[in-house]
Amino acid sequence: MSAVAVRLRWVLALLPGLMSPAWAEPPAPPPLPSLPEAISPDLQDCVSRFGHTGCAARLYARMLCDSVGQLSSNELLQQQLAQQYEQAAIDFRGISVEQVETAAVRYYSPMLCPDKSQQIRQLFNQS
């Protein structure tokens, strides 16, 4: 996994997550493997439309918009983002963490979720 993806996973840990109490029932067994899902058209042409950095930032911003202020599993968010990066075929060579974070926070989140943009900026100003 690239340094950018590792850093983005670390930032996800800053988002509020669900804490399962010790007395909770054990988790259900994982579902049986299924056939690969079709790649959504958004992911298929993401790199050609926005470039590798822009596509990574846009997907990251979309995840931030959907999850900030919500109770969600950080691990699930990390897995979903990693899958989207893989499906979009993003090449992280030559892309810095700062480039992806900056584009996601300053450009794509105001465009994708203007109502949560300020909250997302505050999250990154604290880290």
Residue 76's pLDDT is: 83
- 46-69 confidence digits (pLDDT tens): 999 999 999 999 999 999 998 887
Question: In the chain, which residue ranges form alpha helices assigned H by DSSP?
Answer: 3-12, 41-44, 46-67, 74-88, 97-102, 109-112, 117-126
* Domain assignment of residue 89, yes or no: yes
Q: Give residue 21's Cα distance to chain centre.
A: 26
- 77-120 confidence digits (pLDDT tens): 888 899 999 999 999 999 998 999 999 999 999 999 999 999 99
* Domain assignment of residue 25, yes or no: no
Residue 30's pLDDT is: 54
* Domain assignment of residue 34, yes or no: no
0.85 exceeded by the pTM?
Answer: no
Residue 68's pLDDT is: 84
Residue 84's pLDDT is: 92
Total domains in the chain come to: 1
Residue 40's pLDDT is: 73
Domain extent for 96: 3-16+41-126
* Domain assignment of residue 10, yes or no: yes
* Domain assignment of residue 24, yes or no: no
Residue 23: in which H helix or E strand, if any? Answer: none
